[in-house]
Amino acid sequence: MTSILTNTAAMAALQTLRAIDDSMETTQARVSSGLRVGEAADNAAYWSIATTMRSDNMALSAVQDALGLGAAKVDTSYAAMESAIEVVKEIKSKIVAATEEGVDKTKIQEEIDQLQEQLMSIAESASFSGENWVAGDAAVKSVVSGFVRASDGTVSVKTTAYTLDDTATGNLLFGGDGAGAIVDTNGILGTTGGATIGVSIYALDITGFDTAEMAEALTLVEDGLQAMTSAASELGSISMRIGLQEEFVAALTDSIDSGIGRLVDADMNEESTRLKALQTQQQLAVQSLSIANTNSENILQLFRQ
């Protein structure tokens, strides 16, 4: 039956054209954004996972920054400790030279005085971002080392702790007064030692020492060197760990980015092929609708004289 009120063919062609237009809109959105899942309506599960993992990646980026800050603090402390070790080595060599008979201990002490002042200068200068890890009050310092999401969804920040100890065998060159100021009466260089001489490396004065006292002074300096070497070794270990953690966090960030991409990124080869096909289908659907509408116009031919 032919009707001028209901054009079934045109209605079918219009429905097809609408479906093709909807598909084109989706495909064009994927091509322009590069995302297969750009919003929750596209795929709620994948969108939720991707959003959560992106937030975790931002947290990991902050961890990388914190690791860089921690590494700078440790490197500054290590450089100071290494410099102080070299200075104490010089003091050791001066003491050895002073044991030689006939040597003017006063002149050698003048050199030692300068080296002692250099030790304090090193300790005072070894500060990064307001923190000094080689001089000051004993404390526990921490460096952010990771961001963890547990299986139950809870999140936490992991840290690496480093205990600052101002005892003679600790890892601080000089201790503090409890108010943030550096004092020269404790720490590796400030703690009194020696059964007879009763002085610290920083306050050492060999001017009037006899042979036995010179031996004690040498032992005092050697013990200080051992303690400083141990502290430098510990700082080096922490620096190595931070370096490894930085590499791991960088690799983890890349891995998460890759995983997110697998969930939500569009396959551009596939989408471009689909877009081309839909454009062709659209042209055919428009042509089909035009033909369907033309069929209704043909009815007019029946009423012409």
Tell me 301's DSSP state.
G
Instruction: Name the residue with tokens 């943030």.
Output: 180
Report the 10 Å Cβ neighbour count for 235: 24
What's the pLDDT tens digit per position in 164-193?
Answer: 998 878 899 999 988 888 999 999 999 999
Report the 10 Å Cβ neighbour count for 280: 11
Burial of 258 (0-12, 13-18, 19+ CB in 10 A): exposed
Alpha carbon distance 214, 206 (integer Å): 7
CATH number for the segment(s) 58-264 = 1.20.1330.10
Nearest 5°: the CA angle 35, 41, 47 is: 55
**Token digits for 189?**
């260089």
Span 115-132, average pLDDT: 94
Amino acid 2: pLDDT = 63
Span 114-124, average pLDDT: 96
Alpha carbon distance 47, 41 (integer Å): 8
Amino acid 29: pLDDT = 83
Alpha carbon distance 87, 85 (integer Å): 5
Amino acid 160: pLDDT = 84
What percentage of residues in the chain have a pLDDT greater than 70? Answer: 95
What's the pLDDT tens digit per position in 194-241?
Answer: 889 999 999 999 998 999 999 999 999 999 999 999 999 999 998 998
Q: Is the pLDDT of residue 5 over 80?
A: no
Span 248-259, average pLDDT: 91
64 and 246 Cβ atoms separated by less than 8 Å: yes
What's the pLDDT tens digit per position in 12-44?
Answer: 888 888 988 888 888 888 888 888 888 888 889
Residue 291: what residue type?
I
99 and 210 Cβ atoms separated by less than 8 Å: no
Q: Is the pLDDT of residue 305 over 60?
A: no
Span 247-261, average pLDDT: 91
What's the pLDDT tens digit per position in 51-106?
Answer: 999 998 888 888 888 899 999 999 999 999 999 999 999 999 999 999 988 889 99
Amino acid 1: pLDDT = 57
pLDDT band at 304 (very low <50, low <70, confident <90, very high): low
Alpha carbon distance 30, 78 (integer Å): 52
At 46 the three-state DSSP class reads helix
Q: How far is CA 84 from the centre of its chain?
A: 29
**Token digits for 105?**
């201990």
Q: What is the pTM of this model?
A: 0.78
Alpha carbon distance 230, 236 (integer Å): 10
Amino acid 118: pLDDT = 97
Amino acid 42: pLDDT = 84
Nearest 5°: the CA angle 57, 61, 62 is: 120
